[in-house]
Structure 1
Amino acid sequence: MVSINKTSSKPYYEQLMLGIKEDILSGLWQSGDRLPSVREMARQLMMNPNTVSKAYKLLEAQEVIVTVKGKGTYVKKIDTELRDEYQIQKIQKKFNDLVIEAHYLNVQKKEISQWLDDSYQHLKGE
């Protein structure tokens, strides 16, 4: 279930977006499942509805969710063939920045690889 770390430097809407994506990848939410309304999600997470609305709009732009007027917001079917090269380049840049930070702190490549393996296992529920 999505949770927000109020002490994180990462904006709340980004945390919400990542949390929803993680819940979808872990199988908590399936294609076609209805997400809580903006107001309900804001109430559950004790957030401003505008923040939830921003996250939902960005997830919709990324084709992760779809909103049907008068019916709600739903998880969109994951297209395993879809590769947005621009988004992939942004992820690669973030990853490179993390590697630089880790290297600066003397974190070894083997440890970074283990972190990556652990993250993938977590997503698959292993």
Structure 2
Amino acid sequence: MLLHISSDGPPIYQQIVEQIRFRIVSGQLRVGDELPTIRGLAETLRVNPNTVARAYRELAHDSLVEKRRTTGTFVAELPKQKGIAQRRKMIAPEVDRLLISARQLGIELNDLTQMLTKRDRELTDKEAKS
């Protein structure tokens, strides 16, 4: 599993959590997929194993992964509503940034909504042609 860890910014365990959470919620990691071992991921990322263990605990607390004694850590099945809630939680900071930028530029919410709708149509058309 390829993760990008930055020395500046959020704590390393949070970076691990967010990147794995994104992969699970977006479907890049599927139910039943095994995560790397704590020791293996720590060696790959060159971080303390306790950092990876903390990240895995947080993911387990959020019911995104499950630890199976002696076999490893696996992606858990998300109830549909929880999956939707996780996706909304992940996109919220992007929405906030967009709204703040629009306000700073003097763009009204109705104009922003129209811009988003138009851009969505353009992207959908482009995907359909591909």
TM-score bucket (shorter structure):
0.5 to 0.7
* TM-score, normalised with respect to structure 1: 0.66
**Corresponding residue for 1:82?**
82
Q: Cα distance 1:17–1:71, how it changes in 2: closer, same or farther (>3 A)?
A: same
Q: Which residue of 2 aligns with 1:23?
A: 23
How large is the Cα RMSD of the aligned pairs? Answer: 3.7
Question: 2:46 maps to which residue?
Answer: 46
C-alpha contact 1:4 1:12 (8 A) present in aligned 2: no
Aligned residues: 115
Distance in 2 between residues matched to 1:14 and 1:31, nearest whole Å: 22
Q: Which deviations, in whole Å up to 9, do the C-alpha atoms of 1:75-124 show, x marking residues without a partner?
A: 001211238x8x89x879856864675357548546x959xx7xxx9xxx
Compute the displacement of 1:62 (Å): 0.4
Contact 2:66/2:75, CA 8 A, preserved across alignment:
yes
The corresponding residue for 1:65 is 65
Cα pair 1:2 1:20 within 8 Å, conserved: no
Unaligned runs of 5+ in 1: 122-126
Q: Is the 8 Å Cα contact of residues 34 and 73 (structure 2) preserved in structure 1?
A: yes
Contact in 1 for aligned 2:22/2:90 (Cα 8 Å) = no
Structure 1 runs of 4+ off > 6 angstroms? 90-93
Residue 104 and residue 39 in structure 1: after superposition, are their counterparts in 2 closer, same or farther (change >3 A)?
A: farther
Give how far 1:7 is off. 3.9
* Amino acid in structure 1 at the alignment position of 2:5: N
Instruction: Using the TM superposition, give the Cα deviation of residue 55 of structure 1 relative to its aligned residue in structure 2, in angstroms.
Output: 0.5
Report the CA distance shift for 1:22/1:16 in structure 2 as closer, same or farther (over 3 A): same
Match for residue 101 of structure 2? Answer: 102
TM-score with structure 2 setting the length: 0.64
The answer to whether 1:3 aligns with 2:7 is no
